[in-house]
Structure 1
Amino acid sequence: MTLYLSMAAFALASSITPGPVNIVALSSGAQFGFNASLRHVTGATLGFTLLLMLVGLGVHEILSLWPGLTTAILWAGVVFLLYMAYQLATDNGQLGQGGQQNEPSYWYGALLQWLNPKAWLASIASMGAFVGDGEILLLWQFAVIYFVICYASVASWAYAGAMLSRLLQSPRNVRRFNRLMALLLVLSAYYLLLEGV
């Protein structure tokens, strides 16, 4: 039982803390509401769980053989974060009217996790800590625990954003909020570069 509690604590600490996925969930909740943002939450959670499983099944060994691949993932993640920051910074501030390409989606959430160096680091670290011997049953159990906690964590950020939308009734306030979220994404990208270099 102690092992499962440790897994849950690790999953909570890495899922609830601020990061690109949670910032996007907060912004999505504020702009599109909680229910629409659940598409992002679901995609991000499924994307991370798949990443966790693949790392547990040996992808981390490929990364250790080809360190250039890790660098490519880092740079792709940074470029994607900067693209999202640009989208937020140039948004018109109309709640729920941002256009089809800006609405939350399953694929966008999943892609964000795969390009998120924080997700890769959490996957690799957790495999080393909890499933180091490669036991498949333990990997599946950990993935289920992580899925539930990750979903609840990202959803809580989307819910907080939805609650904030009550304060963001004017397009001017939404634009300010989106620019703040864009700045946080740029800072996340900068932090990831510092950590990755």
Structure 2
Amino acid sequence: MSASVLLSMSSFALVASISPGPVNLLVLSTGVRFGWRSAMPLVVGASSGFTLLLWLIGMGLSEVWQVLPWLRTLVRMAGVVFLLWLAVRLLTASAELEIDSSVRPSGALTGALMQWLNPKAWLASAAGMGMFVDAGSTFGVTGYALLWGMICLASISVWALVGGHMSRWLRSAPQQLWMNRVLAILLMMSAVLLGLA
């Protein structure tokens, strides 16, 4: 594989992984509210879930998507409902500066589910595999999935770190409440766009 192909693969993965989206917004919010370390299970879950999805699509799962078109609608609608549920949770979250010990940050399973219920993750996976991997190449599929998985992990971690650092500026309850509402509205917008896709 040439250096230019590797650079193209990595650039595509980076842009797709680091650009704002529902997973990154939830990671940012978790970082703000609980600190970047508490957001890391969500980051690892989202990255692992995406890597598995990418690998399975490369191994032929995208053919199932084509044969069963109702599956695409089902995944999209489940994704919309899941994003709206997360947005409502964020919108109704308290702005208490002291973290209630009964409230836990979203974990690895939530991150993985968000990726599997996101048709954009499916489409990016299919596009990436189609552009950069020869059909039927198990080695190529696995290599690309691992490369993208590492880039995804690093990219989403940036959102957790940014959230952790933002918490320093969001010291008052009104500031935290404002941030929760902005992020909730962005998640709702993502859900609406997903529903229209």
Report if aligned partners of 1:33, 1:96 keep a CA contact under 8 Å in 2: no
**Any idea what SS the aligned residue of 1:44 has?**
helix
Question: How far apart in 1 are the matches of 2:101 and 2:88?
Answer: 15
Residue 130 of structure 1 corresponds to which residue in structure 2?
132
The residue number in structure 2 matching 1:140 is: 142
- Cα drift, residue 141 of structure 1: 1.1
Which consecutive aligned stretches of 4+ in structure 1 deviate over 3 angstroms post-superposition? Answer: 98-102
> Is the 1:53–1:143 contact (alpha carbons within 8 Å) kept by the matching residues of 2?
yes
Residue 49 of structure 2 corresponds to which residue in structure 1? 47
Q: Aligned partners of 1:96, 1:70: CA distance in 2, in Å? A: 41
Structure 1 residues 29 and 95: alpha-carbon distance in aligned structure 2, compared to 1, 3 A threshold: farther
TM-score after normalising by structure 1? 0.94
Give the percent of matched residue pairs that are identical in Structure 1 and Structure 2: 44
Quick one: structure 1 residues 82 and 10, their matched pair in 2 at CA, closer, same or farther if it must change by over 3 Å? same
Query: What are the superposed Cα offsets for residues 6-55 of structure 1, whole Å, 9 maximum, x if unpaired?
Result: 11011001001010000001101100101111111000000000000111
Kept in 2: contact 1:49–1:147 (CA 8 A) = yes
Shift of 1:95: 4.4
Per the TM alignment, residue 127 of structure 1 is displaced from its structure 2 partner at its CA by 1.3
Match of 2:25 in 1: 23
Change (3 A) 1:96 1:32: farther
1:118 is aligned to 120
Q: CA RMSD in A?
A: 1.3
Residues 96 and 116 of structure 1, relative CA distance in 2, 3 Å threshold: farther
Structure 1 residue 99, shift from structure 2 partner = 5.0
Q: 1:98 to 1:22 in 2, by over 3 A?
A: farther
Q: Which consecutive unaligned segments of at least 5 residues does structure 1 have?
A: none
- Kept in 2, the 8 Å contact 1:32–1:95? The answer is no
2:104 is the counterpart of 1:106: no
In structure 2, what is the equivalent of residue 71 of structure 1? 73
Q: How high is the TM-score relative to the length of structure 2?
A: 0.94
Q: In structure 2, how many angstroms separate the alpha carbons of the residues matched to 1:186 and 1:178?
A: 12
The answer for unaligned runs of 5 or more in structure 2 is none
Aligned mate of 1:175, from 174, 177, 190: 177
Superposition deviation, residue 194 in structure 1:
2.1
Q: Displacement of 1:89 after TM fit?
A: 0.3
Counterpart contact for 1:25–1:41, Cα < 8 Å: yes
Deviation at 1:123, TM superposition (A): 0.8
